[in-house]
Amino acid sequence: MGKLFEKVRIRGMELPNRLVMPPMVTDYGNEDGTVSQAMIDYYARRAKGGVGLIQVEATSVDSLHLLSRYQLRIDSDTYIPSLKALTQAIHENGARASIQIHHPGRQEPSSVSQTQPVAPSAVALPVPGYDMPRELATEEIAGLVERFAAAAARAKEADFDSVELHGAHSYLICQFLSPLSNRRDDEYGRDTHGRSRFARECIAAVRERVGPDYPICLRISGQEFVEGGLILEDTTVIARLAEEAGADFISVSAGNGMARQWSTQSVLSPKGCLVPLAQEIKQAVTIPVMVAGRINDPGLAEEILERGQADLIAMGRGLLSDPDLPLKAREGRSSEIRRCIACLTCSYYRSRGGLVCLINPEVGMDGKTEDKAAVSRKVLVVGAGPAGLEAARVAALRGHQVTLWEEAPQLGGRWSWLQRKAITERLQGLKALGVTAETGCDCSAEAIAAAQTESVLITARLRPVLQEGISGAGVALVDAVLEGSATVGRRAAVLGGGNTGLEAAFFLTNRGHQVMVLEPGPTLGKGLEGRLTPQIQERLKPKGTRFYTNTRPVSYDGKRLTFATGAGQETAQVDTVVVALGYEEDDSLAAELKGRGVEVQSLPACSQPFLAHPASVEGVAAARRI
């Protein structure tokens, strides 16, 4: 790790290494826009783990236009004290601190709007939940430039070591930069030079307010990946103009509000997917260039630096899953890193109550410790799904003697392909806590009662939902298909287009099968984060996979599948029908044990990837009641 842990100087700021935690909105802020204790604990924990620079999340320069009800604010001096408490915590734990100043422009959710959004042009974001913006008058733009400059001055007063202007992801600065959203014919539009004027004026105004030695970063979307949007030819020019205006380093991301799969990449995106963009931009400027994009491995980060493709590595979700990643890498313990699996659980739940992480359940609770139980008890956890795993972990942390039983030959339960690696990571942590984990167990009421433990936590069993008229030879359950115990013919029909159905389609298509997916409901991808479903379809359609919605199977005779669509009945030659219609919970075992007088708590099963986190939360709550 030669280059990764080199010191770097950017104007008056010296970084202890080249690893940067980029801005990621947490929604941990207080409703009045101030910093909460949970937010301080969260950032302090990442600083303690050894990252060189922490760029605090998008912080509003305009109280009338917010990204969420919990967005941090820096539009008034009243916010300086709480921001200073945050920088103090980051500095005390060894990292430098930056802050991203932000205006949503047209990408202001209507659910939090206090007024009509503003934008360079009256062009609405073609996504539900956003209103038509009002075009900014030329004379209004100077006031917005001043807002960014004043925010940067407050950031410096709050002891931030640097400031970043958010010019990516289709927010206000990016809206000016992009021909997709900027249709102006005045000096702030027309061509790349004109469209970059607002960004250049913001940079110059910030420089005037913060002085010559204070580092300024501009984050840009190297490409928007939407027809009519920014392309690399534009952004190399924009980066060069930003350098001339006074920017000290460029942070390269990608995508916009219509191409979110490029701004926060899923497991289907290759690691380091934005490096080619950064490499081209780096050749256009002389200032340092930072790159993000599924770089969760320190070895990959080192390769990017050694090849000269970037100067700084932005590693966001990798520091959610393991805040100690920098320390582990520096000490030669990379094998111990809990790597991000790009499951998008963080994105899914951030807008539903705050940032979380499937791999690291402590995210959002970084300053909390589990209280020890008054009396240590023998605890049996039955079922190694997410609820059971978390119940076992927290019970062990509280001082109980914990045994974990699983009926299946492997721990983890019926998890989606997105989550399998997460199971392995959690099991390693359980072993370190002294939890005894056993597989292939007899989990009958008799066996559990005979174990004579003092407290039992049982995960409900999952029963597959079956389809009337679809049974017999040639019919297989999705679990058997994914586990490899079922024989599947060349032509396969998957009944159900939820997470397991799409998983089966992905699995079979990539093994050469001809696949059709029949979903009885109106939409595909139930149980998956929204941007994953279109990505899966984009991968599979060129290989001949067909997708049907509002389609109900009628009968199957072992060779022909009859199904009903809105246009009537159709038939298809099918060798195997894979049933993936979801699951029902069976809690009868817990009821039987309670009838025997055993102290039992029921835990929820997890049938969909995005039920994993709430199931884990319930597992924690159950363990705390023991």
Active site residues: 171
Exposed, middle or buried: residue 62 (CB in 10 Å: 0-12, 13-18, 19+)?
Answer: buried
Sheet holding 455-459, edge to edge: 436-438, 401-405, 378-382, 455-459, 600-603
Sheet holding 560-565, edge to edge: 552-556, 560-565, 568-573
Cite the beta strand spans of 433-575 per DSSP E.
Answer: 436-438, 455-459, 461-464, 475-477, 491-495, 514-518, 546-548, 552-556, 560-565, 568-573
Least Cα distance to 549 among 582, 525, 583 occurs for 525
If one counts every other C-beta atom within 10 angstroms of the C-beta of residue 618, the result is: 19
Distance CA 273, CA 252 (A): 11
First vs last C-alpha separation in the chain: 45
Contact 540, 500 (CB under 8 A): no
Token pair 């024989």: residue? 487
Q: Which two tokens stand for residue 445?
A: 């009421």
Cite the beta strand spans of 192-350 per DSSP E.
Answer: 216-221, 249-253, 289-291, 312-314
Report CA Rg, the chain. Answer: 26
Chain-centroid distance of CA 147 in Å reads 30
CA distances to 108, 341, 455, 458, 612 from 377, rounded to whole Å, are 51, 35, 7, 16, 27
Token pair 């298909």: residue? 481
Q: 348 pairs with which residues across the strands?
A: none
Distance CA 261, CA 257 (A): 9
Contact 317, 346 (CB under 8 A): yes
